[in-house]
Amino acid sequence: MKMASFSKTKRGFTLIELLVVIAIIAVLISLLLPAVQSAREAARRTQCINNLKQIGLASHSYHDQTNVFPPGAITHAPGGGWGGWGNTNISWRILILPMMEQNPVYNSINMLLNNGGGNTIATAWYAQLKTYVCPSDGWAASGFVPSNSPVGSYPQYGDAPTLPGRAKEVPITNYYMSFGDNYAISPLSGPNPWETEFPLPAGSTTRIGWNGFWGTRGVIAPKAGDTEMALRGFSDYRTMGSVGIAGVTDGTSNTIFVGEGLPSDDANCEIWAATGAGSGVTIPINWRTDKPYAGFGAGAPWNTRASYAARGFKSNHPGGANFLFADGSVKFLKASVSRSTYAALGSRAGGEVISADQY
């Protein structure tokens, strides 16, 4: 008698089962991806905080040696108005390089030469200074952008210096010293949505913006009846104003010293020169000015890279930006902070009373 034989056949996945598995994997990835991106941003934000803390330590070391914080820029004699720029014409970022263990870069600069020509600082110009770049800003990841380009930077010196074998580029930064609640726009381009013109409107008691645009003194005369209020913060890009800790009567823990900016939103974002030294608090946090270059001083709608509105603080961190305060601490300010509180945090001697729960 013949025994019946049975063959065992292997059963594979059906198309429907395979599609279900793929769909489950896709859902899991979609749930995991935001968490991964959030973790990466948290790491980048931490590095940004560390950059600002290094800048704070270096600035306080500079203060220990000179009894003042670094001026916004080295230009000409104090109170020189619209006069010549002088020989060095370099921003505060360069002055603290020795305190950031960048002595070789600093020592390559001959301060007796006219550094306004660019080529005299070519070696230092093309040095990588990663501490001045926020890792959350992918646009500025290399630390350089094309020179004299609508999507690059327009160096104050006229053009980037020449270095053999290297294309002309401009070193850029994400960190700007605060000129506080001095005007950023008003005396240069007229009325705008944020700054208060003098005299104050009837019934208004809050003033956003004071004379001494960008922290300067004696460059643009105040309107009749108004007063000169130069250097409400720390950065004077043109007239050599400087501030020591004794001048921060509002308290160093309540006064912004340095904040974030975005080179994608600023056609004058270079590390070196005076005109890119500072930003102010009269423009709301994260107001974007990323539209193409349309000539310096472009007005309404205040959204181009060359608008005076580009002199506001902003970042790619969700919801706000990191700020270094004058005591060396770093705090994250939300973009929703009230305008009056933000302006008060920018002034170093305005006498405003601010509690921690206001920001």
What is the structure's pLDDT at 106?
A: 92
178 within 8 A of 206, measured Cβ to Cβ: no
> Which phi and psi angles does 279 have, rounded to 5°?
-140, 170
- Alpha-carbon distance of 121 to 111, in angstroms, equals 10
- For the segment 86-103, the average pLDDT, to the nearest whole number, is 88
What is the structure's pLDDT at 63?
A: 97
What is the structure's pLDDT at 185?
A: 94
pLDDT bracket for residue 114 (50, 70, 90): low
What is the structure's pLDDT at 109?
A: 85
The long-range contacts involving 60-64, CB below 8 angstroms and separated by at least 24 positions, are 60/328, 61/96, 61/99, 62/95, 62/96, 62/99, 63/244, 63/245
> Which phi and psi angles does 356 have, rounded to 5°?
-60, -30
- Alpha-carbon distance of 285 to 338, in angstroms, equals 10
pTM of the model: 0.87
- For the segment 222-226, the average pLDDT, to the nearest whole number, is 85
Higher pLDDT, 239 or 81: 239
- Amino acid symbol at 286: N
Kindly tell me if the per-residue pLDDT of 118 is higher than 70: no
Collapsing DSSP to helix, strand or coil, 345 comes out as helix
pLDDT bracket for residue 12 (50, 70, 90): low
Kindly tell me if the per-residue pLDDT of 60 is higher than 60: yes
Higher pLDDT, 42 or 194: 194
**Which range among 155-164, 237-246, 298-307 has the greatest average pLDDT?**
237-246
Kindly tell me if the per-residue pLDDT of 2 is higher than 90: no
Alpha helices in 143-190 (DSSP H): 186-189
